[in-house]
C-alpha cells in the first residue's frame, strides 16, 4: 500500500518523497492461544539536495496480539 504524504512529512522526508508499505502477518496457535505477529516494512525514495536518488527501507511497525477462545 502507498505511504501517505502526511506520514512522510511527519517523518521529515522532503516534499516529493514517495513510499510503499508491505505488511507481513504470521498467525500461530500454541496450546489453544492464537498469536498474530504483524510487521510492516516501508521503502521510501526521494531526491536529495544534489538531485541524487536516495532509497531507505526499514521496519516501521512491529507488534503482536493474542486471541484466546
**Distances from the Cα of 68 to the Cα of 28, 31, 38, angstroms:** 12, 10, 17
Q: Determine the pLDDT at residue 64.
A: 96
Q: Determine the pLDDT at residue 67.
A: 86
Q: How open is the CA angle 17-62-18, to the nearest 5 degrees?
A: 10
Closest CA to 17 of 35, 5, 33: 5
Q: Determine the pLDDT at residue 15.
A: 87
pLDDT in tens, 14-69: 888 999 999 999 999 998 899 999 999 999 999 998 999 999 999 999 999 998 77
Amino acid at each position: 500500500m502507498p505511504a501517505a504524504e502526511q506520514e512522510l512529512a511527519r517523518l521529515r522526508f522532503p516534499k516529493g518523497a514517495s513510499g510503499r508499505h508491505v505488511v507481513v502477518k504470521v498467525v500461530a496457535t500454541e496450546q489453544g492461544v492464537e498469536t498474530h505477529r504483524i510487521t510492516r516494512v516501508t521503502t521510501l525514495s526521494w531526491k536529495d539536495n544534489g538531485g541524487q536518488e536516495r532509497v531507505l527501507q526499514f521496519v516501521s511497525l512491529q507488534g503482536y496480539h493474542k486471541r484466546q477462545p
